[in-house]
Every structure is written in C-alpha cells, then in structure tokens.
Amino acid sequence: MPVNFEGIREFARIAQDPQELVRHARGNIELWANLFVIGWAVAFMLWQGFGFAVIVGTVFAIWAILAVSLNLVVGFTGLLSVGHIGFFGLGAYTMAILTSDPAYEQLRTEAIPTFGWPFFAALPVCIGLAGLTAVLVGVVFNRFRDDIFVLVSFGFAIIAFNVFLNLRSVTRGAFGIHEIARPEIGGWVFDGEVEFLLLALVFLGLVMLVSWFITTSSFGRVLTAIREDEQAIEVFGYRATHFKLAVWVISAMMTGLAGGLFASWTTFIDPNSFILLESVLLVSIVILGGLATIWGSLLGAMAFVLLEEGMRFIPYLPTEYIGQARQVVLGILLVLLMLFRPQGLVGRYRL
C-alpha cells in the first residue's frame, strides 16, 4: 500500500483531542499494532544500548528489504513463493566470490577463483544475476499457480541450497567464503556498524521507493487483479504471464541486492544461511505484517527481528534451548495470528 497521507492527516486531526484519540484508538487494531511494534523497538534499544541496537537495526533492514520485495510477489500478485531464499543466496554468493580478498589464505584443496572487486562494482552483478536467473526460472514457473506454485518454488529453494553446498569449485561448499569486502566509496570504507546501518537503510529506502512506484501504478493494479482472478483479467486484454514474470524478476533483483548486502555485512557466508527455513520465515514475516502493504512488511520484519534477537535474553531459560525456543514461540505466534487476524498486523487482504 502506498504511503497513506490521508490517514496521517486524519490521525493528526484526531490526535489534537485526547478524548477523541482514546475513542478512536479503542478497537483500532492497526494503530495498536503500529504503536506496539515501534514502542517495543524503542524499549529494546534503550534496554540493550545503542551498539546492539545498531546491529539489530542492520538485521532488520536486510529482512525488511527481503520482505518488501517478497510482498510484491506474495501480497500483490498472489504467488506464494517459498523460493526467494535462492535469489538471496545467489546475490550473497555473487558478492562473496567477486569481492572476497584474493590475499586470504585458502586451503589449497578448496581454492576457488577470487576477483577482489569493490562492493559497488559487484552489487549490480548480484542484482543482474538474480534477475537473469529469475527470468529463466520464471518462464517455467509462470505455468503454475496457487498450491502448485508453492511446490515448484520450494523445489527452487532446495536446488539453490544444494548448488551452494555442492558446487565446491565455486562456493567452497560447507567451508563458506571468508573476507568478503565491506562497501567502500572513494577510499572511505563502511567498516563501522553505524555506517553500514545507514547504507542498509538507504537501500531499504530505495527498495521501498521502487515498490511504492510499482504498486501505485496501473501495473500494480493489474497485479492485484491477477491475484484475484488471473483468467478474468486475461479476458480484459492483459497478458497475465507477462505481468507475473515482470514482477517476479523485479522482486528477485531486489532480493539479490539484499543478498549482496548481507554477504558484505557478515563478511563470511556459508550455505546454512540459505536453507529453506529462512524462506519460510520470510513468508511468515510478509504474512505477519500484512499482505500487499509495504509498511506492513517493515512492521513484520521489525516484529520478527525483535522477537528473534529479543529472545536471546529470556531469563530462566538454559542457553542451549533458547535457539529452539525462539522458533517455537514464533510458530505459536503465527498460529495465533492466523486464528485471530489472518490479514496480518496492518493488512486488508487474505491469501
């Protein structure tokens, strides 16, 4: 959904009268969801201190780019893709291979070609390669929809993971790739966490802008019509397959960008970051925030990251269980969400 200026103005008007505000807030779940997640984020930052909040912020920015781009496909077009992690991994590996430091001492048996490119030269390649792969995959995937589409995109995620794991001459397999370059402009390196956070937020802003531009255009309206009834929109003179392919490729390119950003941030990647579960979590974020709303994807990503990172500090729980406990809690929350608010925190549409 585009930025709702009308809504903001309306809210500003209501906010002037406290009684009116209270009356309005009661029963307005969207408002509560917004206040809750943002309040939670602020509280978290105050509690954990600035340094950790910056890292959590970067994790949030990367998940948010992923969620916004996936929402174009899942929320607006109605194609439930669980394969986007493949594009994410592709972007990350492209960045890793192109920028990893050739001077880094490799195990001779697991040596891969390195190029030592700078970040900003490699990023367009990440985006382009993800886009190109999406065209090839999308031409086939266009034949499917609904539940079958879920299955074939599942297949794509599996294939991508196995390529990352087993194409050892390119990806070093389970050893992973080290010494991935940090972004750098004219000799100034984004090596600090704050600098990287700002860069990630700039990219998030760009992705949101592109998504906003797409979803508010006639193209965006056609996407929602495809989601509702693909055959009917064909009768009115649209080639649904072209529109689906276009949005799929755009979404994959943004996802590839997120991958490049992620690799550069962690400076080390291995196939474990690109397992199917991550893809499922990503879909959960989109549904949690709300389908077909850009703001909802931000909120969903924020809530998810706070949940993930925040639960590191659950008291009384032995550390060895915390990892699993987080996923259990997330699973329970998703079930509750589907029971009581299937349209997500701020969404209007359902799958």
Partner 1 sequence: MTVDNEALALQTEGISKHFGAVRAVDELSLSIPRQGTTSIVGPNGSGKSTLVNLLSGVLPLDGGMVIIDGVGLRVVHAHETPAHGLTRTFQEVRLFDQITVWDNIMVVLTERSLFPSLIERVRPAKRRKAQEILESVGMWEKQDSLAMELSYGQRKLLEIGRAMAMDVQTYLFDEPFAGLFPQMLERVKDIMKQMRTDGYTIVFVSHNMDIVRELSDRIIVLDSGALLAAGDVEPVLGSAEVIEAYLGA
- Interface residue list for partner 1 (CB under 8 A): 214, 216-219, 221-222, 224-225, 227-229, 231-240, 242-243, 246, 348-350
Distance CA 139, CA 25 (A): 47
Q: How far is the CB of 224 from partner 1 (least distance, A)?
A: 5
Distance CA 269, CA 85 (A): 14
Helices (H), strands (E): how many in the chain? 15, 2
Residue 273 or 343 having the CB closest to partner 1: 343
Whether the Cβ atoms of residue 107 and residue 318 lie closer than 8 Å to each other: no
Q: How far is the CB of 236 from partner 1 (least distance, A)?
A: 5
Task: List residues bridging with 185 in a β-sheet.
Answer: 188
Q: How far is the CB of 134 from partner 1 (least distance, A)?
A: 15
Q: What angle do CA 82, 84, 85 make, to 5 degrees?
A: 100
Q: How far is the CB of 136 from partner 1 (least distance, A)?
A: 18
Dump strand ranges (E) for the chain: 184-185, 188-189
Dump strand ranges (E) for 88-171: none
Q: How far is the CB of 163 from partner 1 (least distance, A)?
A: 30
Q: How far is the CB of 235 from partner 1 (least distance, A)?
A: 5
Angle, helices 84-99 vs 276-289, to 10°: value is 120
Q: What is the token pair recorded at 229?
A: 């009834």
Residue 11 or 219 having the CB closest to partner 1: 219
Phi-psi region of 49 (alpha: psi -120 to 50; beta: other; left: phi over 0): left
Distance CA 309, CA 47 (A): 13
Residue 262 or 295 having the CB closest to partner 1: 295
Whether the Cβ atoms of residue 184 and residue 119 lie closer than 8 Å to each other: yes
Evaluate the CA torsion angle 206, 3, 86, 55 in order and state its sign.
positive
Residue 6 or 147 having the CB closest to partner 1: 6
Q: How far is the CB of 11 from partner 1 (least distance, A)?
A: 18
Residue 48 or 241 having the CB closest to partner 1: 241
Given the structure tokens 């190029």, which residue do they identify?
115
Residue 100 or 215 having the CB closest to partner 1: 215
Q: How far is the CB of 248 from partner 1 (least distance, A)?
A: 13
Distance CA 103, CA 274 (A): 26
Residues with Cβ within 8 Å of 303's Cβ and at least 6 positions away in sequence, in order, are: 37, 40, 288, 289, 345
Residue 203 or 349 having the CB closest to partner 1: 349
Compute φ and ψ for 269, nearest 5 degrees.
-130, 150
Residue 17 or 234 having the CB closest to partner 1: 234
Whether the Cβ atoms of residue 66 and residue 211 lie closer than 8 Å to each other: no
Q: How far is the CB of 265 from partner 1 (least distance, A)?
A: 31
Residue 23 or 221 having the CB closest to partner 1: 221
